[in-house]
Amino acid sequence: MKYFWQKEEEIDEDSYQIGLSSEADDITLPELSESRTDEWVDFGENNLFPKELQSLYITSPMNQAIINRKALMMSGSGIEFEQNALINPEFVKMIEFPDGKHDLEQLLKKWSLDSQTYGSYAIEVMLSKDFSKITKFKYVDASNVRSGWMINGEVKDYYYSEDWDNIAKYPPKRIGAFDMNNKSDYNQMIYVSKETIGLKYYGLPSWYSAKNSILLNTGLTTNYLTDLNNGFSPKIAIKFKQKPKTDQEKDDIVSGVKKSYTGKKGERIMSIFSKNAELSPDIQTLDNNQASEQWLAVSENSTQNILTAHGVTSPELFGVSVAGKLGNAELEEAYNIFFNTIVRPDQLTLQKTINRIFKFNDLPTIKIKQAQVLEVESEDGSSIDKEKSYNGAQITSAVTIMQNVNEGILTEQQAIQFLIQMLGFEEEQAYGLFGKTKE
């Protein structure tokens, strides 16, 4: 927000106005380096564009929830492969401890979240001394990766830093681009980004087109919270009838009013002194109800823009309340349409990337299993498929409750009561989620 003073020629010389205005940035592609002063290509202003994406993810509950759900859909409910592949110890090692610490399914979740958040993901592979095998591969935070310049249309290397805002402390480390003919770098990088018109080095998530709506949605929430803690309520417009002599005097008036009568510590009573009635300021109460209605309309519009940018046509799949409820068949159909048109292409790309590594080692390939509409996991990791008769909000809440049980926050009995009393689950189905019966 900023103050603006109307130009002198536009107003009566014996009056002035104080107003508030806000400016929204145009949604443009992040700027890339125009000069080659560094070995890497700067990504956005000050080379910190991924931090902007992180901020839009963290500050918007809706954006974060949709990204998280899309990432879970993308990583699926496990992997599939031919049973005889288990007799190959190298294959077993690659799916159980590809990086020596995590199993493949855990890493798939990390790459999926990066893909949906940044529009890209990165895998570092470590090769044997003779370059004949990939001995390990691990997750790399895509926000910390910068591309080297193209040579003959190809990127030959990447650069990694823990903090690009402080490269003096965290100097960028070069990692060669993955290439079967690369016989000089034992550590190589596979960087996969979504195709974006105008960006040839980096990816961009589709939801970035709703940047201003995400900021607006978050800003409205912040504004309501401010009003809640605001002692200057209802909102007031003050028209002074005598013009200050200088701009400094104008600023002092505004500053004094804000300091004394707004915020948590503002005065609840306003005292005004004037020489006579003609010079007394005119104080008017603004129509808050009308403003609230306008804000509600703006909020609904921004919500729709966020959903559209994510490709969401059935908001209930993401716990967003809508008029009416999707029934059994409708919910499953909506899920399948969204998954196959929005998420499945990203999942197949990730699957191909992993299989590229496996094929390099002459190992069997894998498939990422599609999670079912109402599929959740029990404590032993096995899938429990309930009757498909609940909406997206119930599903989201049920999964959260079960996670709380796994983390020791709730007991199984407490969770079952929540499912029955708060979410409307049938007793048999609520108990069945934990492999139990009421008896």
Kindly state whether residue 427 falls inside one of the protein's structural domains.
yes
The pLDDT-based confidence of 361 (bands split at 50, 70, 90) is very high
Peptide bond into 30 cis (omega under 30): no
Longest dimension (CA), the chain: 97
Kindly state whether residue 279 falls inside one of the protein's structural domains.
yes
What are the CA-CA distances from residue 278 to residues 48, 254, 309, 325 (Å)?
55, 21, 55, 60
SS3 category, 346: helix
Does one domain contain both 230 and 301?
Answer: yes
pLDDT for the residue numbered 254: 72
Q: How far is CA 245 from the centre of its chain?
A: 49
pLDDT for the residue numbered 151: 92
Does one domain contain both 217 and 310?
Answer: yes
**Of the candidates 122, 54, 73, 57, the residue with the CA atom closest to the CA atom of residue 342:** 73
The pLDDT-based confidence of 265 (bands split at 50, 70, 90) is low
Q: Over range 155-159, report the average pLDDT.
A: 96
Kindly state whether residue 2 falls inside one of the protein's structural domains.
no
Q: How far is CA 240 from the centre of its chain?
A: 45
As a whole number, the mean pLDDT across the chain is 78
Structural domains counted in the chain: 2
Does one domain contain both 304 and 386?
Answer: no
pTM over 0.85: no
pLDDT for the residue numbered 255: 76
Q: Report DSSP letters for 145-204, one per residue.
A: EEEBPEETTEE-EEEE-S-TT-TTTS--EEEEEP-TT--S-SEEEEEEE--BTTBSSS--
Q: What is the spatial distance between Cα 322 and Cα 334, in angstroms, rounded to a whole number?
A: 14
Kindly state whether residue 10 falls inside one of the protein's structural domains.
no
Q: pLDDT tens digits, residue range 48-84?
A: 999 999 999 998 888 999 999 999 999 998 899 887 8
Domain final residue pick, 267, 287, 314: 314
Kindly state whether residue 332 falls inside one of the protein's structural domains.
no
Kindly state whether residue 393 falls inside one of the protein's structural domains.
yes
pLDDT at 202 over 80: yes
63 or 8: which carries more pLDDT confidence?
63
Domain final residue pick, 282, 314, 346: 314
What are the CA-CA distances from residue 375 to residues 113, 384, 386, 432 (Å)?
19, 6, 7, 13
pLDDT at 417 over 90: no
**Of the candidates 372, 347, 403, the residue with the CA atom closest to the CA atom of residue 116:** 347
Does one domain contain both 232 and 302?
Answer: yes
Domain final residue pick, 288, 314, 340: 314
Structural domain boundaries, residue 278: 212-314
Q: What is the spatial distance between Cα 76 and Cα 384, in angstroms, rounded to a whole number?
A: 14
Kindly state whether residue 308 falls inside one of the protein's structural domains.
yes
Does one domain contain both 221 and 299?
Answer: yes
Kindly state whether residue 181 falls inside one of the protein's structural domains.
no
